[in-house]
Amino acid sequence: MDDYAAVLAMLNHTWFGAELSPETQERLAKLGEVQDFEADEVILHEGDDAKEMGILISGRLALRTLVPERGPVTILSVEQGDIFGWSAVLADTQAQSTVVATQPSRALVIEGTKLRAALKEDHALAASLYPRVLKAVARRLRATRLQLLDLFAR
């Protein structure tokens, strides 16, 4: 499973990873670890320290937030190729939502401290990765704004 070439191939197959430079893909593959999650497994709790960033290779994750009167509400699903836990790129941040696998899923998970240290030391890695993370966040923000408009409301 941790076969290096297989990890690189998986990474290259994702939206997030495909346009990273080969050097960045290699670095991420070495920094990270492929993890499998079962359906309904909680990967991260809202409010926890943001310890890990993940790139979803297969499956689906739900990002949920708790609304006391309504219970957990799924505000977004993370599909194959997208990232979760991007807050781990920044130090001393908390997870913005609870991340749950809604079906058996596989992700390349990168530990936050190692990732931040690598970004600090390797400027080429930073120059390649930060824009991609920013783009992923921007996509999410655009989509969130549309959700906010509640266009289908009566």
Partner 1 sequence: MITSPAPSQTAPARQWFLARQDLDELIQAIRATGRRVIGPTIRESAIVYDEIQTAADLPAGWRDEQSAGRYRLERRSDDQVFGYTVGPTSWKRFTFPPNLTIATAHRTSFGFEQQVAEAPPVAFLGVRACEIAALAIQDRVFLGSQFTDEDYRARRAAAFIVAVQCTTSSSTCFCTSMGTGPEVRDGYDIMLTEIEDGFVIQAGSPGGAAIVAKLPTRRPSHAEAGAAVDNVESVRTQMGEPLPMAGIGERLKLQLDHPRWIQVADRCVECGNCTMACPTCFCTSVVERSDLDGKTSSTERQWDSCFDVAFAKVAGGDFRARPRDRYRQWLTHKFSTWWDQFESSGCVGCGRCIAWCPVRIDVREELAAIAPPIPPVVHPVAVTPVAASPGTYSVARLGSVRAETEDTTTLSLTDLDPAFLSGRPGQFVMVALPAFPGVPISISRFRADHIDLTIRAVGPTSTALVNLHPGAKVGLRGPLGTFWPIEEAYGRHAVVVAGGVGLSPLHGLVDALVANHERFESVSLFYGSRTPEDQLFRDDLAAWSASKAIDVAVTVDRAGPEWKGRVGVVTTLFDMISWDCSKVTAFVVGPERMMQSSVQGLISKGVPADRICVSMERHMECGIGLCGHCQMAGRFVCKDGPVFRLDELGDMFNREGI
| Interface with partner 1 (CB under 8 A) | 15, 60, 62-64, 70-77, 79, 81-82, 100, 102-103, 139, 143, 146-147, 149-154
Burial of 108 (0-12, 13-18, 19+ CB in 10 A): buried
Give, in order, the Cα–Cα distances in Å from 117 to each of 8, 120, 135.
Answer: 21, 5, 21
With respect to partner 1, which residue has the nearer C-beta, 62 or 88?
62
Look up residue 36 and give its two tokens: 């499998």
Shortest Å, Cβ 49 to partner 1: 24
As beta bridge partners, residue 148 has none
Shortest Å, Cβ 62 to partner 1: 7
With respect to partner 1, which residue has the nearer C-beta, 120 or 142?
142
Shortest Å, Cβ 146 to partner 1: 4
**Which residue's structure tokens are 């006391």?**
68
With respect to partner 1, which residue has the nearer C-beta, 21 or 147?
147
Strands (E), the chain: 33-37, 42-44, 52-58, 61-67, 71-78, 83-84, 98-101, 105-111
Any idea what the Cα angle at residue 150 is, between residues 147 and 151, rounded to 5°? 105
Shortest Å, Cβ 61 to partner 1: 10
With respect to partner 1, which residue has the nearer C-beta, 75 or 133?
75
Shortest Å, Cβ 105 to partner 1: 12
